[in-house]
Structure 1
Amino acid sequence: MAVGNFATFMIIGPTCFFLGILFSSFPYDYNVLWSSPDNRDVYFDILENHVKFLFASPPIISRILNIVIGVGLIGFLTKLYKPSEANMLFDGASLVLYMAGITVYLTNIVKGFRVITAGIYGNVEKSVDGSEPGPDDYVSREDTLRVFAASNTILALVLVGVLVLQAGQWYALRKEEAEIADMDRAAVEKKGKSKKKQ
């Protein structure tokens, strides 16, 4: 049980860590996604500058992020090494969400960092057949920044799902332990009554 508790901590710790990072990005994402201020360009500029600043951070930052992702995966592997039925249901679903979060991080957020920092929005080069690109052939700066902000929100929702499943597993295990204790207590009382009758 102690190994399971430590493995759960190894899952919940990185999940909360990443939720904290996403929460700190929420003020930048909010005006790009949900509000309609008079001058939206200011908020696009703020988000773009924020992303460029994060991308220019020292390499140790990305290494710490990768280590934290790895700690979460090790926690899942530890819990699923010899799984019970509860582990298969709750931890299996949590692992699927965690991997979906990693996929969103790698495909949308990391790629978004590179595109936004380079300032190359969309495919403005000639296509393979040599024709000029049309208006639908590339993604604008605003759409790229919106996709980046939406990816942060999607990742946050996925990570909240991991926490909900881990809390659900904790609740189910505590409920099962309480029911087993009640059954054991009832069995002892029944045994005691049968001895008194003899």
Structure 2
Amino acid sequence: MAKTNSFATFLIIGPTCFFLGILFSSFPYDYNVLWTTPPDREMYFKILEDHIKFLYASPPIISRILHIAIGTGLLGFITKLYKPSEANMLFDGASLVLYMAGITVYITNIIKGLKVVTAGIYGNAEPVEGAAAGPDDYISREDTLRVFAASNTILALVLVGVLVLQAGQWYALRKEEAEIADMDRVKEEKKKAGKKRQ
């Protein structure tokens, strides 16, 4: 059971680290869009926009590998939660919630952002006076790129949370094993002491 649990943990940690690596490679693009105000900010928006278009135009094998990695992480959670202990329910349950939140951010913000930026479907930066907002109105180019960059940051934080919970579970299990070993040792010593008295 411990070996199965370790393998399932590997199935979770591997894809999570893989996604964090992808997000880290996007960080140089996102940084100047979100956290700094360089003199030529427009240049950084253009760089991020070109990067997003390049990602969207990548061969289908790239997205398939990404989706296989997502499925591998889910397989790890299913394996660990098949016959859960109390520690599994707490740590793995919370990790699964974070993982699913990450998948939701990926589907709703990142994939949608890739499509919107590639199609160039941006709204007006300023709404037209007297015009009612309709379903065809979109947010501006800069806001779209900021939302995309912020989604990457949110996803990275969620995935770090998954890793922290998995590390917390590992620490809790090791601590529990050490305490059980200590209790067994004390029992053995008491048994030996009782036999010597007899």
What TM-score range do you get, normalising by the shorter chain? over 0.9
Indicate the residue corresponding to 1:29 in structure 2. Answer: 30
Shift of 1:39: 1.1
Question: 1:172: which partner in 2?
Answer: 172
What corresponds to 2:64 in structure 1? Answer: 63
Distance of aligned partners of 1:83 and 1:21 in 2 relative to their CA distance in 1, 3 Å threshold: same
2:82 is matched with: 81
AA aligned opposite 1:167: A
Q: Cα deviation per residue 1:35-93 (whole Å; 9 max; x = unaligned)?
A: 11011000000000000001000000000001000000000000000000000000000
**Distance (whole Å) between structure 2 residues aligned to residue 115 and residue 122 of structure 1:** 11
C-alpha displacement of 1:123: 8.0
After superposing on structure 2, the runs of 4+ consecutive aligned residues of structure 1 that deviate more than 3 Å are 131-134
**What displacement does 1:154 show?**
0.1
Secondary structure of the 2:84 match is coil
Q: Identify unmatched segments of 5+ residues in structure 1.
A: 125-130
d(CA) in 2 for partners of 1:46, 1:181:
57
Residue in 1 that maps onto 2:196:
196
Partner residue in 1 for 2:41: 40
Give the root-mean-square deviation of aligned CA atoms: 1.4
SS at structure 2 position matched to 1:138: coil
Q: Distance between the aligned counterparts of 1:61 and 1:132, measured in 2?
A: 42
Deviations 1:154-182 (A, max 9, x none): 00000000000000000000000000000
User: For residue 163 of structure 2, what is the aligned residue in structure 1?
Assistant: 163
Q: Which residue number in structure 2 is paired with residue 17 of structure 1?
A: 18
Distance 2:179 2:156 in 1: 35
Per the alignment, residue 139 of structure 1 pairs with: 139
Alignment partner, residue 97 of structure 1: 98
Structure 2 Cα separation of the partners of residues 123 and 31 of structure 1 = 22
SS of structure 2 residue aligned to 1:35: coil
CA apart distance, 1:122: 3.2
What is the TM-score normalised by the length of structure 2?
0.93
User: How far off is 1:133 after superposition?
Assistant: 5.2
Equivalenced residues, count = 190
Query: How many Å apart are 1:132 and its aligned residue?
Result: 4.2
Equivalent position SS for 2:79: helix
Q: Note the residue ranges of structure 2 that are not aligned, 5 or more in a row.
A: none
Question: Is 1:114 the counterpart of 2:115 in the alignment?
Answer: yes
Q: Which amino acid aligns with 1:153?
A: T
CA distance in 1, matches of 2:124, 2:46: 21
Q: Deviations over 1:135-194 (max 9, x none)?
A: xx5311000000000000000000000000000000000000000000000000000001
Q: Which amino acid aligns with 2:6?
A: N
TM-score of the pair, normalised by structure 1 = 0.93
Distance of 2:61 and 2:196 partners within structure 1: 71
Identical-residue share of aligned pairs (%): 79
Change (3 A) 1:46 1:133: farther
